């Protein structure tokens, strides 16, 4: 059984009800079943949580899956607070031992003290911005991808824990151009993505 830990970072705030990220999490529940070879744990950052239990979830999992909207080109405040609390609680308790440097040569090896070697992570994000804002010359993000640009620090955070990335998936133009048909397209795209990444990884391990 592959152990999957899903973090729903779709924060309820202002005009956002976290609808899409809730939907993606229900798709996880449909996909990551014992019949398909998975054990699943889910945390919703809008619900009360215990930081040490969350550390245990990270340590337990083979793959951590993050879902969140991008707000003002960063993580939602609730997800940032969750990570601040949980990662701090995980110091020398399974997430990381140190920043990796040694006193005799502190100039090198920063970021190599993570404890989650052999584990992977995947991220989904949702955006008001259309996909073309990242790809067309002269558009807002200067032709830098989500992962190269806005999520660079997020990916470094996971590298600090010694996690290895799986391919990300990003949902665009979700505020001004959403309807039932497009939501169903998102679902099919997401399930195909899981089959091409996580399920394929499971198959390779079992061979």
The CATH superfamily holding the domain 2-206 is Flavodoxin domain (3.40.50.360)
Between CA 128 and CA 2 the distance in angstroms is: 33
In a 10 Å sphere around its CB, with 0-12 CB exposed, 13-18 middle and 19+ buried, how is residue 97 labelled?
A: middle
Question: What's the mean pLDDT in 36-48?
Answer: 96
Name the residue among 148, 143, 124, 121 with its Cα closest to residue 132: 143
Name the residue among 65, 123, 117 with its Cα closest to residue 96: 117
The DSSP call for residue 115 is S
| Tokens linked to 149 | 């640009």
Q: Which residue has the higher pLDDT, 30 or 18?
A: 30
Query: What value, to the nearest 5°, has the Cα angle with vertex 145 and ends 142 and 150?
Result: 85
pLDDT digits (tens, 9 = 90+) for 97-156: 999 999 999 999 999 999 999 999 999 999 999 999 999 999 999 999 999 999 999 999
Q: Residue 120: in which H helix or E strand, if any?
A: strand 120-126
b/e per residue 178-190 (b: at least 16 CB within 10 A):
eeeeeeeebeeeb
pLDDT digits (tens, 9 = 90+) for 50-75: 999 999 999 999 999 999 999 999 99
Phi and psi, residue 97, nearest 5°:
-95, -40
Indicate if the pLDDT at residue 200 is higher than 70: no
> What pLDDT is attached to residue 17?
77
Indicate if the pLDDT at residue 207 is higher than 60: no
Between CA 70 and CA 35 the distance in angstroms is: 33
> What pLDDT is attached to residue 12?
83
The DSSP call for residue 68 is E
Return the minimum-mean-pLDDT range out of 15-24, 97-106, 193-202: 193-202
Bridge-based pairing of strands 2-8 and 38-44 is parallel
Q: What percent of the chain has pLDDT over 90?
A: 87
Query: What value, to the nearest 5°, has the Cα angle with vertex 83 and ends 119 and 101?
Result: 65
CB distance 115 to 160 below 8 Å? no
Indicate if the pLDDT at residue 204 is higher than 90: no
Between CA 124 and CA 188 the distance in angstroms is: 14
- Those residues with Cβ within 8 angstroms of residue 207's Cβ, 6 or more apart along the chain or in another chain: none
Q: How many residues does the chain have?
A: 207
Give the chain's mean pLDDT.
Answer: 94
> What pLDDT is attached to residue 201?
63
């Amino acid at each position: 059984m592959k152990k999957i830990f899903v973090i729903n970072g779709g924060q309820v705030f202002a005009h956002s009800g976290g609808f899409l990220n809730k939907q993606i999490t229900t798709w996880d529940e449909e996909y990551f079943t014992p019949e398909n070879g998975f054990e699943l744990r889910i945390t919703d950052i809008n619900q009360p949580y215990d930081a040490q239990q969350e550390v245990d979830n990270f340590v337990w999992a083979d793959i951590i899956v993050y879902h969140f909207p991008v707000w003002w080109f960063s993580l939602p405040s609730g997800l940032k607070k969750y990570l601040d609390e949980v990662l701090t609680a995980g110091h020398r308790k399974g997430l990381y031992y140190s920043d990796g440097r040694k006193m005799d040569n502190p100039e090198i090896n920063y970021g190599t003290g993570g404890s989650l070697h052999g584990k992977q992570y995947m991220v989904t994000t949702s955006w008001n911005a259309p996909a073309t804002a990242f790809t067309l010359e002269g558009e807002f993000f200067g032709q830098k991808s989500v992962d190269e640009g806005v999520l660079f620090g997020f990916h470094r955070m996971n590298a600090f824990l010694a996690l290895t990335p799986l391919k990300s998936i990003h949902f665009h133009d979700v505020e001004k151009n959403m309807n039932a048909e497009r939501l169903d397209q998102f679902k099919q795209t997401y399930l195909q993505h899981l089959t091409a990444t996580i399920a394929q990884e499971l198959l390779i391990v079992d061979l």
